[in-house]
């Protein structure tokens, strides 16, 4: 008797849920349950499961860029030269590190045939994966060096350089 009661209540609940969902129409980007005669031409009945529409966020209003006069306080020419010299030193040290790393990677890569490690003797796929990773690291490091050189070229020429 208890099983029959629970089954009946469950069936009643399922029927109530099934009738709770009305027909849903899509009119452009809007969804609605009711459509008048004028809208019916542009609306389509949506078939299938329940539809949940989440309102998106509105994009932030873009403020016009500030003019050059209100960009902030100007720095003196001497201070700007000092900043440029510091930036040049930092970029040159980064370029030197990248070049050393490139030489190390080239030695390890050994023209596409790096030395096999102990765990790679039994697993050739691991060796192939390491070779591909080395090749990708070489390309990435080369790209980094090109970017650093480009940044160095953007800086004003250092008159105190040799």
Q: What is the pLDDT of residue 127?
A: 93
Over residues 103-151, the pLDDT tens digits come to: 999 999 999 899 998 888 888 999 999 999 999 999 999 999 999 999 9
DSSP state of 155: S
| 46 vs 25: CA distance, rounded Å | 6
Band of residue 6 on the pLDDT scale cut at 50, 70, 90: low
Residue 104, pLDDT score: 96
pLDDT in tens, 63-102: 766 655 556 788 899 999 999 999 999 999 999 999 999 9
Q: Where are the domains of the chain?
A: 2-46, 76-154
Coil/strand/helix, residue 12: helix
Residues with Cβ within 8 Å of 11's Cβ and at least 6 positions away in sequence, in order, are none
Helix, strand, or coil here: 112?
A: helix
């Amino acid at each position: 008797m208890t099983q029959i009661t629970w089954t009946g209540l469950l069936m009643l609940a399922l029927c109530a849920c099934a009738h709770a969902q009305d027909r849903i129409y899509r009119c452009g980007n809007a969804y609605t349950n009711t459509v008048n005669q004028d809208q019916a031409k542009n609306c389509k009945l949506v078939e299938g499961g329940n539809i949940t529409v989440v309102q998106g966020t509105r994009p932030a209003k873009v403020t016009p860029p500030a003019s050059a006069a209100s960009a902030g306080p100007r720095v003196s020419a001497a201070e700007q030269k000092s900043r440029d010299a510091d930036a040049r030193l930092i970029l040159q040290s980064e370029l030197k590190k990248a070049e050393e790393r490139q030489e190390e990677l080239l030695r390890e890569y050994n023209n596409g045939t790096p030395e096999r490690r102990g765990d790679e003797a039994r697993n050739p796929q691991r060796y192939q994966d390491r070779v591909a990773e080395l090749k990708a690291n070489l390309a990435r490091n080369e790209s980094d060096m090109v970017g650093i050189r480009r940044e160095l070229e953007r800086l004003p020429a250092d008159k105190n350089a040799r």
